[in-house]
Homo-oligomer: A and B are copies of this chain.
Amino acid sequence: MITKQEYEEIKKESLKYIDQAGIVLTKHEANHLEVTDFGLGRVREMGLQLVVYMNTERCCAKELVLLPRQTCPQHLHPPVGNSEGKEETFRCRQGTVYLYVPGPKVEQPQALPPEDRKQYYTAWHEIVLKPGDQYTLLPNTPHWFQSGDEGAVVSEFSTKSTDEHDIFTDPDITRIVEIQES
């Protein structure tokens, strides 16, 4: 649950990050920037802001905005129908992103999820993305990410995006955001 006021505040903040990154949006895109709290009600800790440029049957492009130290919780993109699942490339445009994927566990992670949800995080191989750096994730790869203290803007290039099929490891997560109107 997120209040309408908080939703609008975070939208406004996110648009500032987009603007600082030199990215031009149409008015319609700016108005429709999406804020998600993954149903956890702690959007500044665990949440994500998105602008979907296009999403066809074959490919998709988005800009993602992360507020300072905001975590996008661990999830994966499973096969859907005849598709092997979503492949995605994250390209950092601004700020720093700590991305965690399966592989040798980093000894001292530079990002940590909220302590009370940590049990649901299994990917601990750390990839650090600074502006210009990118990383490609194959389907079915558990991953999560958090921005550094300055927040971040990340371009995502992928195959068709079907958020409703994403599998989150935290059982309390839902991708449908409830906005409290009053």
Residues of A within 8 A of B (CB): 21-26, 29, 53-54, 56, 58-61, 87, 89, 91, 93, 131-134, 136, 155, 157-159
Q: Across the interface, which residues of B come within 8 angstroms of A60, CB to CB? A: 157
Contact A134 B53 (CB under 8 A): yes
Contact B132 A26 (CB under 8 A): yes
Contact A157:B157 (CB < 8 A) given known A61-B89, A132-B25, A132-B29: yes
Contact B22 A89 (CB under 8 A): no
Contact B91 A157 (CB under 8 A): no
Residue ID in chain B nearest A139 by CB atoms: B58
A24 to chain B, nearest CB (A): 4
Q: Across the interface, which residues of B come within 8 angstroms of A131, CB to CB? A: 24
Contact B159 A59 (CB under 8 A): yes
Contact A26 B133 (CB under 8 A): yes
Known: A56-B87, A59-B158. 5 other contacts (CB 8 A): A22-B22, A24-B93, A24-B132, A29-B132, A54-B134
